[in-house]
Structure 1
Amino acid sequence: MALSDTIKRLGAGAIEASNPVAVMFGKVTKTNPLEVNVDQRFTLDEDFLIVPEQLTRYEVDLKHKHTTSSEDTGEALTEKVVIREGLKAGDTVLLLRVQGGQKYVVLDKVVGG
């Protein structure tokens, strides 16, 4: 076997052994604490997940009161306004396994299909 073939084979083996990045699908099974079941094979808890801000719940308190010289209109928008729902149980997510396989980045929710 030629030296170049041996080097190629060793390089390919090193890449396989290091668990290179992989894209997977998962389903959110629980939100507090977050759990995602991957390809119906194993479940990841929040210790193994990196969730970007855009996939977290975001709500704003816009409660306010208008007062004029003649009257008080009372409070408006008494409930918080939800800007982003965040992840919910049943959502399908696209996951990116970080090299080494210890952490998974939740890239986005999958819609349709």
Structure 2
Amino acid sequence: MTEQTGDYLIEQMNSPGGKPSDYSDEVFGKVQSTNPLTIWVSQSIQLSGSFLELTTEAKGLTINVSLPVGTNKEDVNGTASGNIVIFPPLQVGDRVRMLRVQKGQRFIVLGRA
């Protein structure tokens, strides 16, 4: 009897409970268009608009920097400035990794796969 109780408790601790659709899933897709953003997941599923939420990596991030130019602090001859692309925005053909949430009603686009 004790062995059966122990097995039952271990089984309960290891089982997630609920239905599989209650959990988040990792999903892969391919960018079909960027304006509007459309991501192809399978032959029957294309996602766009309100179904997609983009992280900074997926949106793209460019920062503007300005640095003093000179050999030391006293010899500054001006500044050099420009943009640095940290994360380029998604482009057609990019493969992306997404997180399916809210029972498949939203997909968080994490970034390139």
Q: How far apart are the structure 2 equivalents of 1:32 and 1:75? A: 36
Residue 15 of structure 1 and its aligned partner are, at CA, apart by: 1.4
Partner of 1:28: 31
TM-score normalised to the size of structure 2?
0.61
Count of equivalent residues: 94
**Selected match of 1:95 from 73, 95, 98:** 98
Q: How far apart are the structure 2 equivalents of 1:89 and 1:99? A: 26
Q: Find the residue that maps to 1:62 and give its secondary structure.
A: strand
Gaps of at least 5 residues in structure 1 are 1-13, 67-72
Closer/same/farther in 2, CA of residues 84 and 21 from structure 1, 3 Å limit: closer
Query: Could you list the runs of 4 or more consecutive aligned residues of structure 1 that deviate by over 3 angstroms after TM superposition?
Result: 62-66, 73-77
Gaps of at least 5 residues in structure 2 are 1-17, 70-76
Partner of 2:12: none
Q: Find the residue that maps to 2:50 and give its secondary structure.
A: helix
Structure 1 residues 7-18: aligned runs within 5 Å: 15=19, 18=21
TM-score normalised to the size of structure 1?
0.61
The answer to whether the 8 A contact 2:57-2:110 is kept is: no
Partner of 1:46: 49
Q: How far apart are the structure 2 equivalents of 1:74 and 1:20? A: 55
**RMSD of the TM alignment (CA)?**
3.2
Q: Which has the higher strand share?
A: 2
Identity %: 34
Closer/same/farther in 2, CA of residues 105 and 63 from structure 1, 3 Å limit: same
